[in-house]
Amino acid sequence: KFLPLFLTFFFLAVVFTFMAVTPTTVAILRCVPDKQRSFALGVQSVFLRLLGTIPGPILFGVAIDNSCTLWDINECKTKGACWVYDNERMAYLLMGISAACKIISIIFVVMAVCLYKPP
C-alpha cells in the first residue's frame, strides 16, 4: 500500500543526490586557488571513499543482521547464514540509516554555506 509513495520518495532522493554532484565539484573548484584545484579534488575523493565506501557497507550489514529472526546454527554452535528476515524491521532500519545519512549531509552543506567567507 505504501509502495508508490516509497518509489516516488526513492526516485526523488536519487535524482537530487545525483543533481548535487556537479555543483559540489564546481563549489570545490571555486573555493581553492587555481594551483590547488587538482589536490582539492583528490582530497574530496579520498574523504568520499573513506566516509562512504568503508563504513557504509558495514553499517548496512549490521542493520541487515539485526533484522534476522532465524539464524542457522552449525555443529560448533556458531551463527551461519540467516534463514528468515523480519522484512518490515529491515525496511525501517535501511530507510532510517539512509535518511540519517542524508540529514547529516544536508546539515554539513548548510554549515558550509553559512561559514564560508569568500576571499
Could you state, in order of their start, the residue ranges of all structural domains in the chain? 3-115
For 92, the grid coordinates are 525501517
Secondary structure of residue 77 in the 3-state scheme: coil
Angle at 91 between CA 12 and CA 77, to 5 degrees: 145
Residue-level length of the chain: 119
Q: Which tens digits make up the pLDDT trace of 13-70?
A: 889 888 988 888 888 888 889 999 999 999 999 998 898 888 989 999 999 999 999 9
**What SS3 state is found at 71?**
strand
**Rounded Cα–Cα distance for residues 96 and 91 (Å):** 8
